[in-house]
Structure 1
Amino acid sequence: MNPKIKRKKIKILGDPGRVIAQRHLPGNPDRIKRVIARVLSMPEDAAEHLLEQVILDFAERHRDIGQIFRRHLKLVEEHLPPDPQLSETRQQLLGSFFTKEYSIESAALFNPSIVPHPDQSGLRPGDLRFIISLRATGEGHISSIVFRSGVLSATNLFALDPVSDYVETPTLILNPDYDRHLFELKLNEMDACNETTCWVLNQLPDWFTYNALKEKLDEFRREQGTLNPRQIETLSHIDWLAHSNYETSFPAEYPLSERVIFPVSKNESSGIEDARFVRFTEDDGEVIYYATYTAYNGFNILPQLIETRDFVTFNVSTLNGNAVHNKGMALFPHRIDGRYVMLSRQDGENNRIMFSDHLHFWQESEIIQEPTRSWEFIQVGNCGSPLETDAGWLVLTHGVGPMRQYSIGAMLLDRDHPEKIIARLEEPLLTPHEEEREGYVPNVVYTCGAIIHNKELVIPYAMSDIHSGIATVAVDDLLGCMRPLG
């Protein structure tokens, strides 16, 4: 017997008209100089006419396109002729040639997670304001994180807020301070500790800034002259690690749906994948939102951690330790017996659990679930952070079966000893319907996190890696259909 799950009519679809403005540097410096020369050779009236057309075509798609053009012109300043006397028209026009639009949702909008909004003011009794994070994918299959918000009513009617026509990327700030000890530990995990890293780190204090690190890297290059391949690789590792820890911030007045966390560091240059957000409560009652995600650079993946309190400022840092491998890290919403707890899937096949005294370091994991049912013979994994109930920790899982079909299942973990499964569904909770089977990756339903509201489990879920929907099921019905494990 399986619980009665209801699919809502609402669909969360990508909009190809939601674009960000990116720098566009066509080719090598010589080519950039040729582009500049062509623009500067235009008669002033022709330049004015062309800029007017560019503004007409693109200004309404961005909040301040003039500022964007000025910012991108600065990227090529070194290639301008000496002491150029550029009119405002010529500056704006030059900037437009080094700007391009990127449609963040043009290919897909999927793998959602849902958490309570930090602002619950002004609601009717029983209502809940929520935030959904989604993986947006555009040209070149580059993924980013976007957000939607809305309200669940007391009867779990689902209302999404209007989506802004604009999309904005944040201001990037590299970590103002780095802990030298933690930095060295991570380099050691990367097998990058040698005489080069010793020289650089020994020149730095216990806490150092990125600028201080950059100065020491430059100093090492000057002292060594010609670097050997190992030294070049080591310096690249150091710089790569520094750029993996950063802060991004949006103007607070921008609507949530305008904010996009787009890849900025080298380790995530090919995408930010499958963020699993969780509302985390510390022992003293402080609330922090964390999200684990997978950074991808086209060759390797790296688990990362996002921290935010307001969804305006986001701190991004690396997860460290021998147990931090593969995808699918999902943090429990509070400590258990004083320790952080996280689900994981290091081997790509089994569900595992990890405990740690330090949020950023995870050294050991143990298997708690292996594939045992035909719909999960290929692999099992989590589908987001566990949800606390009186009966135990409710965990949505995914299983992969014949024809690489992904289904969503569920299991229940002991509240005090979450390494112990106490019950589970024998059959999938959600499998792809006929209309959900077609997409970028066929035959997949998947979620990165659900929420419990008014005794119902609310599951935003992806359909074949192309768009997303919502399903609900009564928690008591779900738990009543699980088979106890003793």
Structure 2
Amino acid sequence: MHRSSLAPTDSGLPHSPLRFAPIKLRADPTRVVLRPFNISLDRSDGAGPSRAARLVADILRLDAAAAERELARVEQDFADRHWQMDRIFEARCDAIAAQMTLDITLLGTTRRRLIGAYFCQEYSHAAAAIMNPSMVAHPDQSGLIDGAQRFLMSVRTVGEGHISSIAFREGLIEADGGLRLWPEGGPAMAAVIAPPRTERADACVQIERQAGCNLSNCVIFPVTEAQRNGLEDLRLVRFVHDDGRAEYLGTYTAYSGRAIRSELLRTRDFQRFELIPLSGRAARDKGMALFPRMIDGRYMMIGREDGKNVTLLQSRSLTDWDSPGKRLLEPEYPWEFVQMGNCGSPIETAQGWILLTHGVGAMRKYCLGAVLLDRADPSRILARCAEPILTAAESDREGYVPNVVYSCGAMLVGDRLMIPYGIADSAVGFAHVKVADLLRFMR
């Protein structure tokens, strides 16, 4: 378990109230999962068998001894890298058989697993980048003392083909600001689709963690055509309904490779998840962040409909956002002139809603700021940072996308905000600030 006390560090801004932890998460090519290896099921020449069909035929031509030897080689190479590998192979074989209308009732276990192995691959989901974290209170807060809180954090990871996925980490924030990250402690495992599966592009898809996989080892990959090229920038929030029921909601960007849209992740326990497409004109944009409760009978979101300014959105429906937004913030200071956006859901305090923001200035340099919104009427701005609270320090500006700092959601712990943030799309760092100090930093 990693532990760090947060200590003052130069952020490049002499008056910034933030304090920083030396802990950083970085891209890690050793974190691999088993994923489907997709081989064409279409006929190659319009008449003959498909490439996949020819591969299955080659496997079935092996005699029993050869099939057993080949499966033994696969197990020797990969068994210690993947838990429940044989079960995954059998499930993959069943899926291929269903797609090819192949009768596998007479196949033995060896051939089923071998077919599954040929249609699987290792994928290093965080080999290229890790970025844009979002932190919320953990569902399990039992047994804690002295003001400590458990947290869970989502991160965007990027692997081969620049495909983005959602991964998680768990940990503990102590009363004095000390930060502990729980070890991943085992192989990563991809969440799987829970039956029944629908093929409608606008339908909700249910997925679930595999049996025995803890949350810090769970990875959510794209599972629909609209998500084909990535699930980007999950903004988690613990949402409390008017009747007191709580659940975890998260908006993210689904990218097909041609188009984007906003979708909603919904879960109560982080064991089973719903992935729900959002509808309406606002859902065609990126960076939507949900308020953690309804206000005056309406759901509210922070959005950016024009790519430059921050808007306030309202809806009677959690999944339909067709009403035009009201402009809430526009660039005012030089570090915001290119564009502004949110850095996660607004956080409710006694003084008002604290909304972390990002601004982009000269040389495409990203900075983090904050505004204070009225609790009863979030369209009213009470205070605003004239200078950023966080910018790329000299030691943090290098990476996959230099000069970027970015967060998708902070967490209130006692009298301070804990802010995880992405560094140059290559790492994740941690900072915290006392609410009183942050408010004094605003105008």
- Is this a same-fold pair by TM over 0.5? yes
- Counterpart of 1:254 (choices 213, 237, 255) is 213
Local SS of the residue matching 1:10: coil
2-structure distance, mates of 1:367, 1:89: 62
Deviations 1:298-337 (A, max 9, x none): 0110101111111111112122223333111111111222
**1:456 corresponds to:** 416
Structure 2 gaps, min length 5:
1-13, 44-49
**1:240 corresponds to:** 201
Contact 2:150-2:172 within 8 A present in 1 as well: yes
Contact 1:252-1:312 within 8 A present in 2 as well: no
**1:308 corresponds to:** 267
- Counterpart of 2:163 (choices 117, 142, 150) is 142
* 1:482 is aligned to 2:442: yes
Query: 1:80/1:284 Cα in 2 relative to 1: closer, same or farther (>3 Å)?
Result: closer
**2:339 corresponds to:** 379
Give 1:474 shift: 1.7
* 1:72 is aligned to 2:92: yes
Structure 1 gaps, min length 5:
177-209, 215-238
Give 1:83 shift: 7.9
Query: 1:87/1:308 Cα in 2 relative to 1: closer, same or farther (>3 Å)?
Result: closer
Query: 1:250/1:343 Cα in 2 relative to 1: closer, same or farther (>3 Å)?
Result: same
Deviations 1:368-411 (A, max 9, x none): 11111111110000000011122211111000111111111111
1-structure distance, mates of 2:320, 2:102: 51
Local SS of the residue matching 2:297: coil
2-structure distance, mates of 1:67, 1:82: 19
**1:31 corresponds to:** 51
Deviations 1:11-32 (A, max 9, x none): 1223222222122233345222
- AA aligned to 1:250 is R
**1:44 corresponds to:** 64
More displaced stretch, 32-41 vs 362-371: 32-41
Contact 1:353-1:419 within 8 A present in 2 as well: yes
Query: 1:42/1:454 Cα in 2 relative to 1: closer, same or farther (>3 Å)?
Result: same
- AA aligned to 1:12 is L
Deviations 1:338-379 (A, max 9, x none): 221110001110000012222122212011111111111100
TM-score when scaled to structure 1?
Answer: 0.82
2-structure distance, mates of 1:172, 1:152: 33
- Counterpart of 2:372 (choices 412, 416, 423) is 412
**2:291 corresponds to:** 332
Local SS of the residue matching 1:76: helix
**1:7 corresponds to:** 20
- Counterpart of 1:129 (choices 150, 160, 169) is 150
**1:169 corresponds to:** 190
2-structure distance, mates of 1:263, 1:480: 42
Give 1:88 shift: 3.0
Equivalence map 1:83-98=2 (5 Å)? 86-98=107-119
* 1:342 is aligned to 2:363: no
Deviations 1:171-212 (A, max 9, x none): 324679xxxxxxxxxxxxxxxxxxxxxxxxxxxxxxxxx5xx
**1:207 corresponds to:** none
TM-score when scaled to structure 2?
Answer: 0.90
1-structure distance, mates of 2:280, 2:117: 45
2-structure distance, mates of 1:318, 1:37: 39
Give 1:45 shift: 3.1
- Counterpart of 1:369 (choices 325, 329, 336) is 329
How many residues were matched structurally? 421
- AA aligned to 2:261 is L
More displaced stretch, 39-48 vs 92-101: 39-48
Equivalence map 1:383-394=2 (5 Å)? 383-394=343-354
Query: 1:470/1:83 Cα in 2 relative to 1: closer, same or farther (>3 Å)?
Result: closer
Query: 1:284/1:55 Cα in 2 relative to 1: closer, same or farther (>3 Å)?
Result: same
Deviations 1:391-450 (A, max 9, x none): 211111000111111111111111111111111111111000122111111110000000
Equivalence map 1:281-300=2 (5 Å)? 281-300=240-259
- AA aligned to 2:173 is L
2-structure distance, mates of 1:252, 1:66: 14
1-structure distance, mates of 2:141, 2:411: 15
Give 1:84 shift: 8.7
* 1:159 is aligned to 2:173: no
Q: Structure 1 or 2: larger helix share? A: 1
- Counterpart of 1:429 (choices 365, 389, 404) is 389
Work out the percentage of aligned pairs sharing the same amino acid.
44
Contact 1:130-1:150 within 8 A present in 2 as well: yes
Local SS of the residue matching 2:189: coil
- AA aligned to 1:343 is I
Query: 1:44/1:125 Cα in 2 relative to 1: closer, same or farther (>3 Å)?
Result: same
**2:282 corresponds to:** 323
More displaced stretch, 432-441 vs 342-351: 432-441
Equivalence map 1:217-236=2 (5 Å)? none
Give 1:278 shift: 0.5
- AA aligned to 2:406 is Y
Contact 1:301-1:326 within 8 A present in 2 as well: yes
Give 1:155 shift: 0.6
Local SS of the residue matching 1:323: helix
1-structure distance, mates of 2:17, 2:293: 30
Contact 2:163-2:230 within 8 A present in 1 as well: yes
Contact 2:17-2:441 within 8 A present in 1 as well: no
2-structure distance, mates of 1:451, 1:25: 40
Contact 1:377-1:400 within 8 A present in 2 as well: yes
Give 1:136 shift: 1.1
More displaced stretch, 149-158 vs 69-78: 69-78
Contact 2:155-2:234 within 8 A present in 1 as well: yes
1-structure distance, mates of 2:100, 2:313: 52
Contact 1:3-1:477 within 8 A present in 2 as well: no
1-structure distance, mates of 2:24, 2:82: 26
2-structure distance, mates of 1:83, 1:53: 23
